[in-house]
Amino acid sequence: EIVLTQSPATLSLSPGERATLSCRASQSVSSYLAWYQQKPGQAPRLLIYDASNRATGIPARFSGSGSGTDFTLTISSLEPEDFAVYYCQQRSNWPGTFGQGTKLEIK
Amino acid sequence: QVQLVQSGAEVKKPGASVKVSCKASGYTFTSYGISWVRQAPGQGLEWMGWISAYNGNTNYAQKLQGRVTMTTDTSTSTAYMELRSLRSDDTAVYYCARDGSERFLKDWFDPWGQGTLVTVSS
- Cα separations (Å) of B4 from B21, B37, B112? 10, 14, 6
pLDDT tens digit string along A28-59? Answer: 999 999 999 999 999 999 999 999 999 999 99
Distance CA B82, CA A81 (A): 35
CA torsion, ordered B77, B110, B98, B54, to nearest 10 deg: 90
Q: Using 50, 70 and 90 to split pLDDT, how confident is the model at A99?
A: very high
Write down the pLDDT at residue A23: 98
Residue of A nearest to B60 (CA): A95
Q: Using 50, 70 and 90 to split pLDDT, how confident is the model at A94?
A: confident
DSSP β-ladder status, A4-7 and A19-25: antiparallel
Distance CA B76, CA A100 (A): 35
Q: Using 50, 70 and 90 to split pLDDT, how confident is the model at B104?
A: confident
**B89 interface with A at CB cutoff 8 Å:** no
Write down the pLDDT at residue B99: 94
**B13 interface with A at CB cutoff 8 Å:** no
Distance CA A88, CA A11 (A): 15
Q: Using 50, 70 and 90 to split pLDDT, how confident is the model at B10?
A: very high
B74 to chain A, closest Cα gap in Å? 23
Q: Is the peptide bond before A8 cis (omega within 30 degrees of 0)?
A: yes
Write down the pLDDT at residue B82: 98
pLDDT tens digit string along B74-95? Answer: 999 999 999 999 999 999 999 9
Contacts A–B by Cβ distance under 8 A: 54
Write down the pLDDT at residue B101: 84
- Over residues A90-103, the mean pLDDT reads 94
User: Are the C-beta atoms of B37 and A36 separated by less than 8 Å?
Assistant: no
In order, the DSSP letters of A44-83 are -EEEEETTTEEPTT--TTEEEEEETTEEEEEESS--GGG-
Q: Identity (one letter) of the amino acid at A42? A: Q
